[in-house]
Amino acid sequence: MKIAAVIPAYNEGDRAGKVVEDALQYVDMVIVVDDGSSDDTAAIAKKAGAIVLSHIQNCGAGAATMTGIEAARQLGADCIVTLDADEQHSPEDIPALLAPIQSDEADIVFANRFGQKNRIPFIRRFFNSIGNMITFAATGKWVSDSQCGFKVFGPKAAMQVNLRMSGYEFCTEIVRECAQHHWRTAQVPAKVVYSEYTLAKGQSFANGVKTALRILLRSFLR
Indicate the residue among 106 and 165 with the shorter CB distance to another protein.
165
Q: Measured between alpha carbons, how far apart are the two ends of the chain, in Å?
A: 35
Indicate the residue among 35 and 87 with the shorter CB distance to another protein.
35
Indicate the residue among 193 and 217 with the shorter CB distance to another protein.
217
- H helices then E strands: how many in the chain? 9, 7
**Rounded least distance, CB 177 to another protein, Å:** 9
Distant-in-sequence, close-in-space partners of 222: CB < 8 Å, separation ≥ 6: none
Query: CA-CA distance, 101 to 109, in Å (whole number)?
Result: 7
CB 95 within 8 A of CB 181: no
- Residues in contact with another protein by the rule CB under 8 A: 33, 51, 53-57, 59-60, 63, 66-67, 70-71, 74-75, 138-141, 164, 166, 176, 179-181, 217-222
Indicate the residue among 67 and 128 with the shorter CB distance to another protein.
67
Indicate the residue among 33 and 143 with the shorter CB distance to another protein.
33
**Rounded least distance, CB 13 to another protein, Å:** 18
**Rounded least distance, CB 149 to another protein, Å:** 18
Beta-carbon-side half-sphere exposure of residue 31 (alpha carbons within 13 Å): 25
**Rounded least distance, CB 166 to another protein, Å:** 5
**Rounded least distance, CB 114 to another protein, Å:** 23
Query: CA-CA distance, 213 to 207, in Å (whole number)?
Result: 10
CB 71 within 8 A of CB 5: no
DSSP letter assigned to residue 192 = B
